[in-house]
Amino acid sequence: MRDIADLVVIVWASLFGVSWLWRVTDPDPTRGRVRLSQAEISASQEREPWARAQLAQLATAAGLRSVPSFGVANAGTYYIPLRHRIQVSRAYLARLSDAELRLILAHEVGHATRRWKAFARRSPDEEVAADRVALRITGSTPDQWRYAVESTGRAEPGQIVGEDVVHRASALGLQGESCRSSVPK
């Protein structure tokens, strides 16, 4: 009997450990998703192949040896270093323009080029580094970056406001106050 009890505890502890590890490698899986219409959900699904193709192109442009995998996030967009994976919300897939979505993906590719640095710590400087890669591989201007950031705020109202936006904007030579809005991390 004692052995069975031990076994149950060991199995439970292992399952708990694995699920905990899985969760901590995903920066923010619990944030709610915004309410989308059925048409928007369909539009987001139809856009996935395009987004995957863009991701492959951007990864090559950034000099990555392997293209990050692509997944759908509950909200926002982020890179998961341990899984080398980029997740984008259905709201972004449905509501951002091609140029905006490309810039957002390019930012995450920027994180992927600094995979283990990004894994070690998430700092405003890592965000700026990812932004610079994004501008370089898309040939975008800082103003285009600002419009994309503002669009993400409109696409997902009520998203957590990124404290680092002002820092990132001024690092790109913009007036920071003009883009204090929601921003992908």
**In the complex, which residues of this chain contact Zn ion (CB under 5 A)?**
127, 130, 185
Contact 105, 86 (CB under 8 A): yes
Q: Which is nearer to Zn ion, 29 or 43 (CB)?
A: 29
> Distance between CA atoms of 60 and 137, rounded to whole angstroms?
9
The two structure tokens encoding residue 159: 């998203």
Q: Which helix (H) or strand (E) holds 77?
A: strand 77-80
> Distance between CA atoms of 87 and 20, rounded to whole angstroms?
19
Shortest reach from residue 184's CB to Zn ion, in Å = 6
Shortest reach from residue 38's CB to Zn ion, in Å = 30
Burial class (CB in 10 A: 0-12, 13-18, 19+), 138: buried
Listing from the earlier edge strand, what are the strands of the sheet with 85-89?
Answer: 69-73, 85-89, 77-80
> Distance between CA atoms of 132 and 135, rounded to whole angstroms?
5
Q: Which is nearer to Zn ion, 75 or 130 (CB)?
A: 130
Shortest reach from residue 58's CB to Zn ion, in Å = 14
Q: Which is nearer to Zn ion, 130 or 174 (CB)?
A: 130
Q: Which is nearer to Zn ion, 106 or 130 (CB)?
A: 130
Shortest reach from residue 164's CB to Zn ion, in Å = 9
Shortest reach from residue 21's CB to Zn ion, in Å = 22
Q: Which is nearer to Zn ion, 10 or 82 (CB)?
A: 82
